[in-house]
Amino acid sequence: MTKQEILSSIIEIGIVPVVRAPSAEAAVRAVEAIYEGGIRAAEITMTVPGALRALERVADALGDKIVLGAGTVLDAETVRAAMLAGAEFFVSPGLKRETIELARRYSKVSIPGALTPTEVLAAWDAGADIVKIFPCGNVGGPKYIKALKAPFPHIEMIPTGGVNLETAGEFLKAGACAVAVGAELVDAKTLKEGRYEVITERARQFLAVIAKAREEMKSGR
């Protein structure tokens, strides 16, 4: 996929599931469950034991049917390794210029984390494609995104933290290009019990919320 195709896909899908799991096997099965629920994007965090193997397995199984990303990327070496494993976008909790530069060099998508207006602008100036607003739920949720978008209408933002079935639509209406969802979609208890069908059902519910919010935005509600 080209860089523009990766970006367009993330924005069109409107949701990036964040998969934190106790094993590579659980991560792969969680992504498959998410895919079955209709979401064609997923981010496997580098905190998963054997995360690179999980990325490889998902890339092999689903190929270009899913936009696959690596999360909790803290350095350029991890970007390179995750890219070789099949990741198309890279998400960080903070701003590290070398990770952005490496992703840009290979025409991949970089999504560094920021919180304050100064950090958001620094991330954008450093070449971020989208800025992850983290931890968004702790500082006002959708209202905070709306406040940030006022001076930065040109910067695409994805909120992380505080996104659930009740707030996802509000985040989009506030100006987020998409939302990132972690434990509200893939939680430790469900993984431990192996109830992957629950994750599939939640994925469907999130997609329905996003579709409803976008329909209301079109009609001016």
Q: What are the pLDDT digits (tens) for 143-191?
A: 999 999 999 999 999 999 999 999 999 999 999 999 999 999 999 999 9
Before 17, cis peptide (omega within 30)? no
Q: What is the mean pLDDT of residues 53-58?
A: 98
CA distance 207 to 153: 25
Q: What is the mean pLDDT of residues 13-34?
A: 98
């989009």: which residue's tokens?
Answer: 172
Q: Which CATH number belongs to the domain containing residue 38 in this structure?
A: 3.20.20.70
CA distance 36 to 187: 17
> What does the pLDDT read at residue 220?
80
Listed in order, strand segments (DSSP E) in the chain are 15-19, 41-45, 67-71, 89-91, 109-111, 113-114, 131-133, 157-159, 179-181
When divided into structural domains, the chain yields a total of 1
Which range marks the domain in which residue 96 is found? 3-218
> What does the pLDDT read at residue 126?
97
CA distance 182 to 199: 11
What amino acid positions are annotated as catalytic residues? 43, 132
> What does the pLDDT read at residue 20?
97
- Does the global pTM surpass 0.85? yes
Q: What is the mean pLDDT of residues 87-96?
A: 97
CB 131 within 8 A of CB 124: yes
**What is the arrangement of strands in the sheet containing 157-159, beginning at the earlier edge strand?**
113-114, 131-133, 157-159
Q: What percent of the chain has pLDDT over 90?
A: 97
Average pLDDT of the residues of the chain: 97
Q: What are the pLDDT digits (tens) for 105-143?
A: 999 999 999 999 999 999 999 999 999 999 999 999 999
List, as own/partner pairs, every contact residues 149-155 make where C-beta atoms lie below 8 angstroms and the sequence separation is at least 24, other chains included. Answer: 149/174, 149/175, 151/117, 152/117, 152/120, 152/121, 152/124, 155/120, 155/121, 155/124, 155/131
Q: What is the mean pLDDT of residues 26-32?
A: 98
Q: What percent of the chain has pLDDT over 70?
A: 100
Q: What are the pLDDT digits (tens) for 2-13?
A: 999 999 999 999
> What does the pLDDT read at residue 191?
97
Q: What is the mean pLDDT of residues 26-36?
A: 98
pLDDT at 221 over 80: no
> What does the pLDDT read at residue 184?
97
